Amino acid sequence: MLGKWILCFAGLLVPAPATAENLRQGGKLLLTDGMTSVEGSAGGGLATWALIGGKETDAGIGVSAHSTLVRTGRFTLSAVGAKVGLFDRVELSYGRQVFDTRSAGAKLGLGRGYKLGQHVIGAKVKVVGDAVYDEPWLPQISLGVQHKIADKGTLLRALGARHTSGTDVFVSATKLQLDTGFLMGVTARLTRANQFGLLGFGGDQKRGMSMQVEGSVGKLLTRRLLIGAEYRSKPDNLAFAKEQDAVDLFAAYAIHRNVGITAGYADLGSIATFSKQRGIYLSLQGAF
């Protein structure tokens, strides 16, 4: 049902179909389609950006796929997914996350290597501005939704989660100044996801949705290399485990026009009673 809604939504916003002769694929500048956020949409590592994924211009269709690994002292998160960009206006995305508790699983009474996971289905629409062109003071602004479906419903409810699925709604603004190479982005997200949704939605401390903020700053050192930092606030809904905000430092490099790699260091705060969950992440993306 959600998939049909997303397709209908996209159909209302995408220009009339172009002929094969005038579809222009791969016209974006390097790195201006973004990397991939933890939920699978175009963005950095933690934060969602207003950019539309894929290398397409406003006269083409693009696609990208990613594989991401985040490893902290106690846990490992792996994610794969893909997104389609339609005429640099609409982005449709899908991500699959698997959260490995490793040795922490035994201490939590779940068993060593116990795994949680979720599916993330997303849609994003550019409503005004352009991240690279147009007026230098006007950012690209996009609206989006992400519907998340978590695994292990019985366990999540026992931990205090109210729901095993939920929908985030967000608005993002992103601007890249080509003359200075400076990038800035901010996202306001309405959510009730616990640890991005891996621990369910809502909780015994707070049931409803709350407004959270994501911020990004970056600098293009060369046309192929972007370095930056991100911040993301998170709800604190569950009594059994305090949830803290997250930060990261990252570097994204365009190995080839169609292949990019992002590496970073993230501090995710406390996760499932284990504090100071810090570590590295690595993401590989192919885009056309």
241 pLDDT higher than 70? yes
Q: How far apart (Å, rounded) are the C-alpha atoms in residues 72 and 75?
A: 5
Q: How confident is the model at residue 134 (pLDDT cuts 50, 70, 90)?
A: confident
User: pLDDT tens, 144-188?
Assistant: 999 999 999 999 999 999 999 999 999 999 999 989 999 999 999
Q: How far apart (Å, rounded) are the C-alpha atoms in residues 55 and 47?
A: 20
User: pLDDT tens, 31-80?
Assistant: 999 999 999 999 999 999 999 999 998 889 999 999 999 999 999 999 99
pLDDT at 14: 41
More confident call, 221 vs 11: 221
% residues pLDDT > 90 (the chain): 86
Q: Where in the chain are the domains?
A: 33-287
Computed over every residue of the chain, the mean pLDDT equals 91
Residue among 75, 70, 152 at smallest CA distance from 112: 75
3 pLDDT higher than 90? no
Q: How far apart (Å, rounded) are the C-alpha atoms in residues 150 and 197?
A: 7
Q: How confident is the model at residue 137 (pLDDT cuts 50, 70, 90)?
A: confident
Q: Is the pTM of this model over 0.95?
A: no
Q: How far apart (Å, rounded) are the C-alpha atoms in residues 125 and 11?
A: 11
Q: How far apart (Å, rounded) are the C-alpha atoms in residues 58 and 182?
A: 23
- CATH architecture of the domain 33-287 equals Beta Barrel (2.40)
User: pLDDT tens, 188-216?
Assistant: 999 999 999 999 999 999 989 999 999 99
Would you state the structure tokens that stand for residue 238, as one six-digit string? 């569950």
110 pLDDT higher than 70? yes
Q: How confident is the model at residue 83 (pLDDT cuts 50, 70, 90)?
A: very high
